[in-house]
């Protein structure tokens, strides 16, 4: 299984979620949905603002309005 989530800290105080990659089969099983909360948790720990820079991360925040980017 190949999964990957890339994020960066290019701007002080922010975390940009740049890419979420999951092989097609595991994606059906909700793997991507489990990846995105990991960097969100880290960003909250360090009080970073989150910038979703790709469609999956944007869709995740749209579906989970209780988690502010």
Whole-prediction pTM: 0.70
- 54 and 35 Cβ atoms separated by less than 8 Å: no
- Residue 68 falls within a domain, yes or no? no
Number of Cβ within a 10 Å radius of residue 62:
10
Which residue range(s) make up the domain with 54?
Answer: 3-63
Q: Classify residue 69: in a domain, yes or no.
A: no
For the record, the structure tokens of 25 come out as 């089969």
pLDDT at site 26: 57
pLDDT of residue 46: 92
Span 7-59, pLDDT tens digits? 889 889 999 988 888 777 655 577 777 888 888 889 889 999 988 887 788 88
Asked if residue 54 is part of any domain, the answer here is yes
Number of helices (H), then strands (E), belonging to the chain: the values are 4, 3
Q: What is the DSSP pairing of strand 3-8 with strand 14-22?
A: antiparallel
């Amino acid at each position: 299984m190949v999964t990957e989530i890339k994020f960066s800290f290019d701007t002080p105080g922010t975390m940009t979620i740049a890419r979420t990659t999951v092989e097609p089969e595991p994606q059906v099983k909700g793997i991507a949905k489990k990846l995105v909360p990991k960097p969100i948790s880290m960003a909250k720990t360090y009080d970073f603002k989150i910038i979703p820079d790709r469609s999956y991360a944007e869709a995740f925040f749209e579906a989970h309005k209780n988690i502010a980017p």
